[in-house]
């Protein structure tokens, strides 16, 4: 539990009601409510756990369908993934509504390559007769996919092992990149060098170029605020994010 330098950070992202908080409680052993008020986790929860001699700090991001609609909780989630740069972002999906959930997963894959996709509620899916080809999903997304049932504590060991391998650098991901139509791709190509010039290599340039093309003012505001704090320790980011959202 000592706050040594080897503490890795994990972010938990996912749609509302996919069981992020159940997983969070399971990993950290913290006792909390897992009900659902609107915007419940906007002041996001943090916890700690140890696995195989490594200590981890895990942040439970607000449940969102997207990271682009500019509501307060979506901004919190987006800013955390972009600015706090967690060592691993766990995207929790609802196995019974993959189509809806993959929207967010694809958005996260555009932002960072350190992603593990966690298909939760596998027990529910089984009950409904839904079969999921985990291997194929993993191939298509280009990142590890782990089936779990947080409620029944199934698949957690495999998830922890995958996290362990990722922070050790034993997993090479190749996240699926959405290709847009030619007009957009050309503009991205033009913008990326400028983006890199202005903000360096700290942030995913392609993703930022896309946000600029989309006219995302809220990201610009966050970018203007953030650089001064950039060199500080990650825990400070967590604080900044939550105060900003209030």
Which residues are near other proteins by CB under 8 A?
65-66, 68-70, 96-97, 99-100, 103
Closest distance of CB 213 from other proteins, Å: 13
Q: Is 155 left (phi over 0), alpha (psi -120 to 50) or beta?
A: left
| Distance from C-alpha of 215 to C-alpha of 168, rounded to nearest angstrom | 37
Site of tokens 């913008």: 191
DSSP 149: B
DSSP 214: T
Closest distance of CB 13 from other proteins, Å: 14
In the chain, helix, strand, coil percent, each to 5?
Answer: 45, 15, 35
Instruction: From 36, 86, 34, select the one nearest 58 (Cα to Cα).
Output: 86
Closest distance of CB 107 from other proteins, Å: 9
DSSP 83: I
| Distance from C-alpha of 67 to C-alpha of 78, rounded to nearest angstrom | 6
Name which of 51 and 65 has its Cβ closer to other proteins: 65
Closest distance of CB 29 from other proteins, Å: 31
Closest distance of CB 66 from other proteins, Å: 4
Q: How far is CA 160 from CA 62, 164, 179, 214, 224, in A?
A: 22, 6, 32, 36, 36
Name which of 97 and 156 has its Cβ closer to other proteins: 97
Closest distance of CB 14 from other proteins, Å: 14
Site of tokens 């809806």: 100
Closest distance of CB 98 from other proteins, Å: 9
Count other Cβ atoms within 10 Å, centred on residue 27: 23
Name which of 8 and 207 has its Cβ closer to other proteins: 207
Q: What is the dihedral of CA 63, 69, 70, 73, to 10 degrees?
A: -10
Name which of 99 and 201 has its Cβ closer to other proteins: 99
Name which of 97 and 171 has its Cβ closer to other proteins: 97
Name which of 128 and 168 has its Cβ closer to other proteins: 128
Site of tokens 């509620």: 121
Name which of 68 and 207 has its Cβ closer to other proteins: 68
């Amino acid at each position: 539990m000592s706050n040594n330098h080897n503490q890795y950070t994990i972010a938990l992202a996912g749609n509302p009601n996919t069981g992020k908080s159940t997983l969070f409680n399971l990993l950290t052993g913290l006792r909390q409510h897992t009900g659902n008020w609107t915007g419940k986790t906007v002041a996001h929860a943090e916890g700690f756990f140890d696995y195989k001699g490594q200590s981890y700090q895990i942040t439970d991001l607000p449940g969102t369908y997207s990271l682009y609609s500019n509501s307060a909780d979506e901004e919190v989630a987006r800013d955390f993934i972009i600015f706090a740069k967690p060592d691993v972002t766990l995207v929790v999906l609802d196995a019974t509504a993959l189509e809806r959930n993959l929207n967010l997963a694809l958005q996260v894959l555009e932002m960072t390559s350190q992603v593990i996709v966690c298909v939760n509620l596998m027990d529910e899916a089984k009950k409904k007769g839904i079969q999921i080809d985990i291997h194929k999903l993993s191939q298509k997304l280009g990142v590890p996919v782990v089936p779990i049932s947080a409620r029944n504590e199934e698949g957690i060991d495999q998830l922890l092992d995958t996290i362990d391998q990722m922070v050790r650098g034993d997993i090479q991901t190749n996240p699926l990149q959405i290709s847009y139509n030619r007009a957009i791709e050309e503009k991205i190509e033009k913008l990326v060098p400028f983006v890199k010039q202005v903000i360096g290599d700290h942030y995913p340039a392609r993703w930022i170029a896309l946000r600029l093309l989309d006219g995302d003012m809220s990201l610009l505001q966050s970018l203007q605020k953030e650089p001064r704090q950039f060199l500080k320790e990650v825990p400070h980011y967590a604080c900044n994010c939550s105060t900003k959202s209030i």
